[in-house]
Amino acid sequence: MPKWTFTKGLHDLGNGCFAYLQPTGGWGWSNAGLIADSGQTLLIDTLYDLKLTAEMLDKMRAAVPSAKSIRTLVNTHSNADHTFGNQLVKDAQIIASQKCYDEMKEIDVEARRQELKNWQALGDAGLFQHENLDGNFDFEGIVLTMPTKTFERELDLKVGDKQVKLIEVGPAHTRGDILIHVPKDRTVFTGDILFSNGHPPAWAGPISNWIKACDLIMSMDVETVVPGHGPIVEKSALKDFKAYFEYLTRETRKRFDAGMSISEAAYDIDLSQFKGWIDEERIVVNVNTLYKDLGASSGLLSPFELRTWMGRYRREQRETAHDHSHAGHNH
Ligand SMILES: [Zn+2]
């Protein structure tokens, strides 16, 4: 029996640590966290839009009165599904790694709104974003709200009497990923260094760095691991997650050496041992990053091309599943 249920909302981890979960954990459905001690609170990440973030803050304030004035917000990385709600806690000090800050500065909120509006003109990439985001998230009113304090490598904080350690482990998922470790509570909030029951997209890489981050978490004395997406898990989940990257590294190298293109390699790799993990189309991003890690000098895909190929990959998966379910009736 899993120790934690995967239901939407605030989950009390005990001793002043909370996780806020958003099933399904797929595209944009991120988790967040709250650490409270002696009347002080630290929020870990905001959500993809203002409505979702406001709803989360209401739940936190109902459970923890001192969350009415959150003193500190930590962004685990730059991705919009962890930062677009920042403006709702703008009186807090906002802490992130310097590399997260640099990457966040490049986000163009208006361009994203326009892309989503004009999705029909953007082919498979537009359709892919439309399916992932439209109707789920609302980017109206979002004002990019940047971190106000940055660090490199490590930063020790106190929330009340509780020690909280920020540890930079990127570049991996993004350029500036960090972990948030609460030693006394044997808890780690991993941000998107862990996707539980989902394929992780390695936007930045190198993948070898992500594998090192898995080793670091496994070496910690922790019993509760709150991922950036998906259900809360125990440390043992990192073993399977690391094995995914090791498998992908081996399989991609073979295809790189054989001269396959990135999309050919992505379609060719057998992912059946990870059945049950969502968002399988992210294989395209990961093969692209591994080709970059292996020193590919040409043929790498742009963010737009990645969305195009992920859209195609997912459509073909659906069609295959559909064919299988109808095979018995047709013949
Ligand atoms: Zn995320």
Sign of CA dihedral 203, 104, 305, 26: positive
Prior bond to 24 cis, omega within 30? yes
Ligand 1 center–CA 44 separation, angstroms: 12
Distances (CA, A) of 37 to 15, 160, 185, 259: 8, 5, 12, 55
Distance 45 CA to ligand 1 centre (A): 10
Residue found by looking up tokens 């920042």 in the block: 86
Compute, in angstroms, the gap from residue 312 CA to the centroid of ligand 1: 22
CA of 29 to the centre of ligand 1 (A): 7
Q: How many A from CA of 192 to the centre of ligand 1?
A: 5
Alpha-carbon span 85 to 156, nearest angstrom = 24
Q: How many Å lie between the centroid of ligand 1 and the Cα of residue 99?
A: 16
Going from the Cα of 227 to the center of ligand 1, the distance in angstroms, rounded, reads 9
Give me ligand 1 centre to Cα 250, in Å.
26
* Distance in Å, CA 28 to ligand 1 centroid: 6
* Token reading at 179: 């972990």
**Residues written for the chain:** 331
pLDDT tens, residue order, the chain (331 aa): 567 899 999 999 999 999 999 999 999 999 999 999 999 999 999 999 999 999 999 999 999 999 999 999 999 999 999 999 999 998 999 999 999 999 999 999 999 999 999 999 999 999 999 999 999 999 999 999 999 999 999 999 999 999 999 999 999 999 999 999 999 999 999 999 999 999 999 999 999 999 999 999 999 999 999 999 999 999 999 999 999 999 999 999 999 999 999 999 999 999 999 999 999 999 999 999 999 999 998 999 999 999 999 999 999 988 888 787 766 554 4
pTM: 0.96
In one-letter notation, the amino acid at residue 72 is: T
Distance 30 CA to ligand 1 centre (A): 5
CB contact at 8 A, 241 and 326: no
